[in-house]
Chains A and B, each alone.
Chain A
């Protein structure tokens, strides 16, 4: 794993929804090596611990990374206060990303809420071969549907209250249907209950599935062992606490013990 630490300028900031922001960051060396599913570890001004944020766009030619984050607590609130031209203190790119399957003819990208952004680099890779299923609580939270479409992916948007998108309900409703049509792989990021439901469905249907996990982190590079994820080695059945920052954030669905 290759990563570096530095301060990188925010080229552009955009509000996508209430308390959801997108930054485009100029960091050529990082953009050159970043992979879908990896994350950046950002130090909010004035705080002591960095916050892991998934990569939502990789543009190696122009040396730009995109991130999208929601204000959750103090750290992300401080990040949201930064403006175009400010510098981000970042360690990146970090983590083990999604497996890229060049031969796949149809993949499903499942994103829930703030789990949708890491699906964008996958949509860029798979293009028309991808169906992006996104789930949100309500219309106020819907983000990135046009960006997914621009990459060539077909999109299915679900809201729990039916206030936007084609489907009222959870992402599992369209996923169940898609799985019956033959899918090479499913890639997912979202809340734990959503990920568990997606993992269970894929395991039941014998469809290859990778999920991106989230955990509170300190070092971000595998040294402090703070971000443990309970897993089972599918071959040896051995129970292990792996680490979201280094072994993950992407795990195989059958590895994770909920």
Chain B
């Protein structure tokens, strides 16, 4: 049994695997399958200041080795999250990353400030949601906007602050450096790639929102590349995600430089994916006689 623990921003994780925001709700639905304490952490559904109803249906479409979604940040609002969901999650012996979003820097700061007085372990600021008209990815695609929103949230909280980056940019390293200088404690990437499908019989986009975020195995090579580039560009830790389906995928992202790994679409294919991946990481390490998972972080030897 290898040592699977990792430490990010002073927070101890028993293993590096975290179900990604949006696929896992607040965890309750997955308790039918396994104990949430088996997870390194949980990134909760993106929460805004006020309740949001999200986009019209269809919000989901399967694509080759992946899927599109345009949920549009449907959530019950931060007050509901803090009163109804967080206390329960905090009893689960796993790290809770509260994912937050907003239309303006002020809204993001307001949500972060409310979380600051809770026992939540980390805040993951989403500056990369492709499915909302204001805020969302707009913050994550310009260095100036990214800096502005991260600075505002930084002032509102002393919690460890992870900033979730968009891949829909010319240079992910420039954005990563901008949020690092604005006070981020870590970055997580990649969020979904903006995509679209059209039903050629009806000539209508498959998603009611016309466009949506592409996730799943199809984007894994993009994730590996961006995690590698970002880990080489910033000093803060990187949480990797994007199409991770197996322990080997997780190991690959960690070798590229990720200190922890989030699991998204794979949870839909196999609800046990996060706990299976933890087991597979251990099997790989044991087989290679590597004593601790942190020994592999950033160990890729580029040509």
Contact = CB atoms under 8 A, between A and B. Distances in A.
Interface of A: 1-5, 43, 47-50, 74-75, 91, 215-230, 239-241, 246
Given A48-B269, A49-B67, A225-B74, A75 B25 contact: no
Contacts of A49: 60, 62, 67, 268-269
A223 B25 contact: yes
Contacts of B56: 228, 230
Interface string B51-72: 0011111111110011101010
30 contacts: A1-B32, A2-B32, A5-B272, A43-B269, A48-B62, A48-B67, A48-B216, A49-B268, A50-B268, A50-B269, A91-B271, A215-B57, A215-B58, A216-B57, A216-B60, A216-B61, A219-B23, A219-B267, A224-B23, A224-B25, A224-B71, A225-B25, A225-B45, A225-B54, A227-B57, A227-B60, A228-B54, A230-B56, A239-B53, A240-B53
Contact of B59 (A74, A91, A228): A228
Contacts of A246: 29
A43 B67 CA distance: 14
Contacts of B53: 239-241
Q: Is the interface of B mostly helix, strand, loop or mixed?
A: loop
A39 to B, nearest CB: 15
A5 B32 CA distance: 9
A91 B268 CA distance: 10
B194 interface: no
A216 B65 CA distance: 17
Given A228-B55, A228-B57, 12 more contacts: A3-B32, A49-B60, A49-B62, A49-B269, A218-B69, A218-B265, A223-B30, A224-B23, A225-B54, A226-B69, A228-B59, A229-B57
B217 interface: yes
B42 to A, nearest CB: 11
Interface string B239-277: 000000000000000000000000001011111100000
A216 B59 contact: yes
Contacts of B25: 222-225
A217 B57 CA distance: 10
A3 B265 CA distance: 20
A230 B270 CA distance: 28
Interface of A is mostly: loop
Contacts of A74: 62
B303 interface: no
Contacts of B271: 5, 91, 219, 221
A24 to B, nearest CB: 25
B106 to A, nearest CB: 25
Contacts of A218: 23, 60, 67, 69, 265, 268
A186 B141 CA distance: 52
Contact of B217 (A48, A75, A229): A48
Contacts of A43: 269
A96 to B, nearest CB: 14
B24 interface: yes
B265 to A, nearest CB: 6
In the complex, the 8 A-B pairs of residues with the closest C-beta atoms, listed nearest first: A223-B25, A226-B60, A216-B60, A221-B29, A223-B29, A49-B62, A216-B58, A218-B268
Contacts of A223: 23-25, 29-30
A218 to B, nearest CB: 5
A2 B29 CA distance: 10
Contacts of A228: 54-57, 59, 71, 74
Interface in B25-60: 25, 29-30, 32-33, 45, 53-60
B22 interface: yes
Contacts of B57: 215-216, 227-230
A222 B67 contact: no
A74 B64 CA distance: 11
A82 to B, nearest CB: 17
